[in-house]
Structures are given as C-alpha cells and as structure tokens.
Structure 1
Amino acid sequence: MNTATKPNHIGRKISRIRELRGMKQEALAIELGVSQQSISLIEQSETIEDEKLEQVAKVLGVTAEAIKNFSEESMIYNIQNNYEGSNKGANSISVSNFNCTFNPLDKLVDAYEENKKLYERLLEAEKEKIAYLEKLLNKK
C-alpha cells in the first residue's frame, strides 16, 4: 500500500487560487510589479520565499497560511457542507429542497399583463396625440 503524500506545491496552489479568484497571470503580475513570465515561474515552483508568498497572498486577498494550507478536497468539502440549510451534525446526511416561494409562470403571466397594460396606455397616448394634431391642422 502506497502511503506517499502529495508534495506541498505552493506554485500550483497559487495558480489555483488565482484561477478561482478569476484573475489572469497578467493581472497578478501587474499588481506585483513583475512580468507575466515571473508569475508563470512562481506557479511552476514547488517552494517560494516567505516574503514573496506574503506579497502574492495580499494581492490574491488571502493569507499566506491560506495558500500553504489550500487543498481542492477541502474546498469541495466546504462547498458541499456549507450551503444554506445544511445540517451541521458530524454524521448526518443532509438533503435540502430549495422551493421557490412563488410560481415562475405566475410571474411571467404578471409581466405579460403589465406589458399589455403599458402597450395599451402607449397606444391611447398616441391616439390622443394624433387627435390633437388633427385638431390643430383643422384650425389652420
């Protein structure tokens, strides 16, 4: 049985956090005042100097400790277990049904009816405008 652990590859963690934040290498490079190639090298590095890690963490909006401890598995676990309405028990399996508090079709019909009313008011205003203009023309 192989008990080898995954190496703590800081560069990959930085890359993944950057991607999750929706940030491109170029944007991170600009914020750090370095080239995009430098960011690429950092993300390929297994280790990084603490000072540089602090700078990267600050730009990414996380702590250096968060980068060091980042793992995809824990992210997935947190997302699965921290949604609204989940049970917090250690051994519980939670199932939540998110029910709408309104019928979407009713809202669509309401919007259609409102649109119809607005169109009728617009049509009536146009008819009044035409009648007024015809009255002005007849006076001349």
Structure 2
Amino acid sequence: MSTLSKPNHIGRKISRIRELRDMKQEALAQALGISQQTISAIENSETIEEDRLSEIAKVLGVTVEAIKSFSEESMINYFNTFNEAVSDSSFGSIHNNKCTFNPLDKLVESFEENKKLYERLLQAEKEKIEYLEKLLKEK
C-alpha cells in the first residue's frame, strides 16, 4: 500500500519522508533515543501521538504539518514543476548558474589590490631603513 491508497496513514508518511531523506530506521531511532523496532512499529501505525510526531518531524527536518499533509502525488508534482523550470531555462541544464560579475575583473581587481599592498609594505620598509640609518648616524 502506498500513501495514495491510505492518505491518513501517518506511519507510512514518516517512512516515506525518512526514505527521501536517505535515513535508515536505525539512524532515526538513535536520534530519538528509541529502538529501531519502535520506529518500525511507528511506521506501521496509522496514528501517532502529537508529542512523538513533533520529535520525529524535528529529526527529519520537516514540520509536523509537512508530515500530515505529505502525499506521493504532491511530491511528484513538486519534482515535475522543478524539472519543467529547469528545462525552460536558457541553457537547458540542471546547473543554471548565472554569474553576476566577470571573474576576470575580480582577478584583475585582486592583483591590483595585491600590488597596492606590496607598495605599502615596500614604503614601510624604506621608512624603517631611513629611520635606522638616522639612528646610526646619530651615534
């Protein structure tokens, strides 16, 4: 049975969200401080206590409402919307990164800044040498 056939089966929703998070029952159990068998029992339950549901939601990184309203159909629609947006992009690739600056300009900028820093360091060294020479002449 899927969440489509039993839309109010909280345990199956938790199980599916856990799987989508690529989390094993053992990991969820450890995070909650309970046994893996308890997680299995929870995932086979149609209902769950609000306090426990809140704890599970926190560990899974979702809200209680997200668990309650979860459905496979909504997930499919979400990913279809995402894929349509990607295919509509001007480059037609998943990685549609648009640089808001010219990297070469940034590189030249950093070289110019390094040059200014070097010149300031050189000037400071010259001043130090002049000061030391002045001290030597006074003695």
- TM-score for both structures, normalised by structure 2: 0.58
Alpha-carbon spacing, 1:25–1:56, altered in 2? closer, same or farther (3 Å): closer
Task: Write the distance in 2 (CA, Å) between the matches of 1:13 and 1:117.
Answer: 58
Tell me the residue number matched to 1:57. 57
Task: Write the distance in 2 (CA, Å) between the matches of 1:75 and 1:43.
Answer: 27
Task: Say which of 73, 79, 83 aligns to 1:76.
Answer: 79
Tell me the residue number matched to 2:89. 95
Task: Say which of 41, 44, 55 aligns to 1:47.
Answer: 44
* Superposition deviation, residue 19 in structure 1: 5.9
Count of paired positions: 117
Tell me the residue number matched to 1:32. none
Matched-pair contact (CA < 8 Å) for 1:57–1:63: yes
Give the % identical residues: 44
Q: Which has the higher helix share?
A: 2
1:77-114 per-residue CA deviation (whole Å, 9 max, x = no partner) reads 45446xxxx59xxxxx6224554332111111111111
- Which consecutive unaligned segments of at least 5 residues does structure 2 have? 4-8, 92-96
- Which consecutive unaligned segments of at least 5 residues does structure 1 have? 30-34, 88-92
Q: 1:1-140 counterparts in 2 under 5 A?
A: 6=2, 9-16=12-19, 25=28, 28-29=31-32, 35=33, 38=34, 40-41=36-37, 43-45=39-41, 46-48=43-45, 49-51=48-50, 52-58=52-58, 60=60, 62-68=62-68, 69=70, 71=72, 73-74=76-77, 76-77=79-80, 79-80=82-83, 86=85, 94-96=88-90, 99-140=98-139
* Superposition deviation, residue 39 in structure 1: 6.1
Cα RMSD, aligned residues only? 3.6
